[in-house]
Each structure stands twice: as structure tokens, then as C-alpha cells.
């Protein structure tokens, strides 16, 4: 038997004001889009903004459904929309923010497992890492230079 060690590295910004100007703008768009979430069941609202290599910004918010699990997370709404509208474009950067209607979220909220796998598909297909910035409602913002940092042991088409 042998053991392996997998490590992840994140940059941490204390506030959104510390972010580069383009990321501040992306996060502000994610925050405003978060307010459009349809979350009557979880009361947990998520907003996402993507910056594409063609300069376009694509937005997404979580959309729930009484016939659970028919809803969709904000990250997948945004990346699937980008893939449908701009199929040749590459995703450069992603900003994610989450807030609860029940309590203040001050911890950075990363993408869920299903979203990580979906983001991985795009990152692998485009052969270019996606910078991912995520936060709660307020507080620190974490930056990951690639989805592989969040999901280091990727399941992808190469294993099929």
C-alpha cells in the first residue's frame, strides 16, 4: 500500500474591495443575480456570473422545483446557458455568492459536488483553467485558480 497527499491552494481576499476591479464587477453581478433566485424550499439563494473569452458575461441563479431534484444550481444554470448561447467561447472566470433567508452566510460557499463535476467538464473540454471566486453573503472571498483545485481527482471522459 502507498499513500498519496492531495493539497489545494486558495487565495483569500478579506473583502470584495480587495478583489481586482474586473472581479469586483463580476461579483457584484453575481450578488444582484442571487436576488433573482427562485428558492422557496431551501431559502438559500445563489448567484453566479461568468466572464467568457469573448468579453460576454453570463449570469445564473438557482431555480428550485417542488419535484425535487428537478431544480438547478446557479453555477449550472450559468455554464449551461454559456454553452448554449456561446458554444465556442471559453469560460475564464466565475464568481459565486450565496445567501440564506434564515441566517447571514459569512463563510465562502463553494460549488456543490454536482456543479464541480459540471464545471470540470467545461474546464477539461476548453483545455483552459477557470478561475473560481466564491463567497457567502458577506466576508472573505476565496479564489481557486482551477476547478481541479476544488476537485483534484477528476472523473472525466478519459476513464470511460
Asked if 142 and 16 touch (Cβ cutoff 8 Å), the reply is: no
Q: Is 81 annotated as a binding residue?
A: no
Q: Is 118 helix (H, G, I), strand (E, B) or coil?
A: helix
Between the alpha carbon of residue 137 and those of residues 64, 66, 74, 99, 134, the distances in Å are: 19, 25, 15, 5, 10
Our answer to whether residue 75 is catalytic in this structure is yes
pTM of this prediction? 0.94
pLDDT the model gives residue 135: 98
Considering its fold, how many domains does the chain have in total? 1
- Length of the chain, in residues: 160
Q: Is 68 annotated as a binding residue?
A: yes
How do the pLDDT tens digits run along the chain, 160 residues long? 999 999 999 999 999 999 999 999 999 999 999 999 999 999 999 999 999 999 999 999 999 999 888 899 999 999 999 999 999 999 999 999 999 999 999 999 999 999 999 999 999 999 999 999 999 999 999 999 999 999 888 887 777 7
127: in domain? yes
48: in domain? yes
102: in domain? yes
81: in domain? yes
Q: Is 86 annotated as a binding residue?
A: no
CATH number for the domain harbouring residue 136: 3.40.140.10
128: in domain? yes
Catalytic residue among 3, 17, 18, 75: 75
Amino acid at each position: 500500500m502507498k499513500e498519496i497527499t492531495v493539497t489545494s491552494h486558495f487565495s483569500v481576499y478579506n473583502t470584495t474591495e480587495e478583489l481586482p476591479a474586473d472581479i469586483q464587477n463580476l461579483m457584484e453581478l453575481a450578488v444582484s443575480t442571487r436576488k433573482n433566485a427562485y428558492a422557496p424550499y431551501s431559502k438559500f439563494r445563489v448567484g453566479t456570473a461568468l466572464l467568457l473569452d469573448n468579453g460576454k458575461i453570463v449570469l445564473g441563479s438557482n431555480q428550485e422545483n417542488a419535484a425535487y431534484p428537478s431544480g438547478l444550481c446557479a453555477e449550472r444554470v450559468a455554464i449551461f446557458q454559456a454553452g448554449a448561447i456561446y458554444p465556442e467561447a471559453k469560460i475564464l472566470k466565475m464568481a459565486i455568492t450565496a445567501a440564506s433567508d434564515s441566517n447571514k452566510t459569512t463563510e465562502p460557499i463553494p460549488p456543490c459536488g454536482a456543479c464541480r463535476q459540471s464545471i470540470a467538464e467545461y474546464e477539461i473540454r476548453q483545455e483552459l483553467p477557470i478561475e473560481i471566486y466564491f463567497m457567502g453573503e458577506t466576508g472573505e472571498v476565496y479564489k481557486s485558480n482551477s476547478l481541479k483545485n476544488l476537485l483534484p481527482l477528476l472523473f472525466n471522459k478519459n476513464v470511460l
